[in-house]
């Protein structure tokens, strides 16, 4: 399980697994479909001893998705992918509904550090929004996790919290976050912030490619 701590990000490999519900969410299918994949042997995993519960290691899921030509949750769609890490399901769903209406966003939510770690490889978000007041989302640990994860390279990190003061927001920027938001916030401000930050990253990457093509380093 992934745990974001002040010191470092720990991963217990024997718990680096997903439930059928987790897989259904990642693949955007019904849980019973995942069960059929599992029972037919298409998706490898194992059952919990003494239980009918199924568990699927993350690496097996990624192999399955690639082998069957399944887009990694919008990886090939060209839309901005936003991962919202918040224990309040209402916040995540509100952001999902509002951004999805814009047409060029794909949003998924996580309510634990483990789920963020599992989704990072499959979803590969452009933007990671994190409620920094969560016990397993200490700002410094979030930064170390994001910057050390190959699946999160270049991700735009947005810290958020209820009543976040300007001083606390500036502290997040100093930690390494790209932006911050104080709850409650207007979703239009979220869209504006995401577009501003991702446009900046896109321009930087475009310039890098142009420099390589023209031999300028």
pLDDT tens digits, 43-70 = 999 998 888 899 998 778 878 887 887 7
Q: Are 111 and 86 in contact (CB under 8 A)?
A: yes
Q: Collapsing DSSP states into helix, strand and coil, what is residue 216?
A: coil
| Mean predicted confidence (pLDDT) in 123-144 | 89
Q: How confident is the model at residue 200 (pLDDT cuts 50, 70, 90)?
A: low
How far apart CA 152 and CA 110 sit, in angstroms, is 15
How far apart CA 76 and CA 62 sit, in angstroms, is 15
User: What CATH number does the domain located at 2-67 have?
Assistant: 1.10.1660.10
Nearest Cα residue to 124 out of 92, 153, 85, 94? 153
Domain at 80-208: CATH architecture:
3-Layer(aba) Sandwich (3.40)
Same fold, 2-67 and 80-208: no
Structure tokens at 182: 């104080």
Q: How confident is the model at residue 133 (pLDDT cuts 50, 70, 90)?
A: very high
Query: Which pLDDT score is estimated for 78?
Result: 59
How far apart CA 12 and CA 198 sit, in angstroms, is 32
Q: Could you count the other beta carbons within 10 Å of the beta carbon of residue 6?
A: 9
DSSP letter string, 102-150: TSSEEEEEESSHHHHHHHHHHH--SEEEEETTSTT--HHHHHHHHHH-G
What does the domain layout of the chain look like in residue ranges?
2-67, 80-208
Query: Which pLDDT score is estimated for 158?
Result: 94
pLDDT tens digits, 78-123 = 578 889 999 888 888 888 888 877 767 888 888 888 888 888 877 8
How far apart CA 103 and CA 121 sit, in angstroms, is 23
Cis preceding linkage at 88, omega within 30: no
């Amino acid at each position: 399980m992934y745990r974001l701590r002040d010191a470092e990000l720990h991963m217990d490999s024997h718990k680096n697994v997903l439930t059928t519900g987790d897989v259904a969410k990642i693949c955007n299918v019904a849980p019973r479909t995942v069960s059929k994949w599992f029972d037919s042997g298409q998706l490898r995993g194992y059952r919990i001893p003494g239980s009918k519960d199924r568990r699927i290691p993350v690496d097996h899921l990624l192999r399955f998705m690639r082998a069957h030509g399944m887009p990694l949750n919008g990886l090939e769609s060209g839309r901005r992918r936003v991962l919202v890490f918040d224990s309040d399901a209402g916040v995540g769903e509100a952001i999902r509904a509002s951004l999805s209406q814009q047409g060029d966003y794909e949003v998924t939510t996580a309510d634990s550090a483990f789920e963020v770690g599992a989704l990072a490889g499959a979803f590969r978000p452009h933007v990671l929004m994190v409620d920094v007041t969560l016990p397993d989302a200490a700002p410094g640990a979030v930064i170390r996790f994001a910057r050390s994860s190959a699946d999160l390279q270049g991700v735009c990190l947005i810290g958020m919290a209820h009543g976040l003061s300007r001083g606390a927001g500036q502290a997040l920027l100093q930690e390494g976050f790209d932006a911050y938001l104080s709850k409650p916030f207007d979703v239009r401000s979220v869209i504006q912030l995401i577009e501003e930050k991702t446009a900046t990253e896109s321009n930087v990457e475009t310039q890098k490619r142009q420099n390589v093509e023209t031999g300028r380093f």
